[in-house]
Amino acid sequence: MSGFVSFVGSGPGDPELLTLKAVDRLKAADAILFDDLSSGPILEHASAKADLVGVGKRAGRPSPKQHHVSQLLVDYAKAGGHVVRLKSGDSGIFGRLEEEIDALRAAGIEFEIIPGVTSACAAAAAAQIPLTRRLLARRVQFVTGHDVAGALPGDLHLQSLADPGATTVLFMPKRTFPALAEKLFATGLRPDCPALLAENVSHPDQTLQRTTMAALADQLSNEISSAPGLILFGELAETP
């Protein structure tokens, strides 16, 4: 008999940001396939009998291919039992969730999706800012900073990203940010538009840097840390 798969969003890393349902599924799992950013104290909720399998992908490091991760998930599920696919943040946001769902559907394996706290929301909360504000920031947009080859996506809608009435959050942004900023300035975004660089969100070594788009682009042109991070920009990034 085939098993059952729970896609669990682990949040940005702080185990206290796990949902109650996420903790329940971790405790009940026979196997847990986890991302790098979902490891550490979060896995302390797992049963001592559960198989723990790291399948995380990080920029600039050797990582398993997506088709291998999907097949591994199918293989564990076909062996029976309850499998948790533990993804950082919320699995539906730049987590390649659909590819793994497609593999399960093709194999006839049932699944559920348990949402998690996105790193975007956690970063805004840590910085003590909202993502929206009446009359000022009417829209929030989440954008990936690189394509499958690690380059800046060529099909970004620059007019939307340069919209002064939006709060924009860039995921996996640091290596391509200088090039993106240059395009946005040419599209009309102010170089002094407020920006927030958040790294290691919700971890003890979290850092939050309030700056401007131009200053951050210059900084990342010269030095990029290996810490996972995101960039939030828009008028709300400068408060409080």
Cite the active site residues.
Answer: 35, 57, 172
* DSSP collapsed to 3 states, the chain: CCCEEEEEECECCCHHHCCHHHHHHHHHCCEEEECHHHCHHHHHHCCCCCEEEECCCCCCCCCCCHHHHHHHHHHHHHCCCEEEEEECECCCCCCCHHHHHHHHHHCCCEEEEECCCCHHHHHHHHCCCCCCECCCECEEEEEECCCCCCCCCCCCCHHHHCCCCEEEEEECCCCCHHHHHHHHHHHCCCCCCEEEEEECCCCCCCEEEEEEHHHHHHHHHHCCCCCCEEEEECHHHHCC
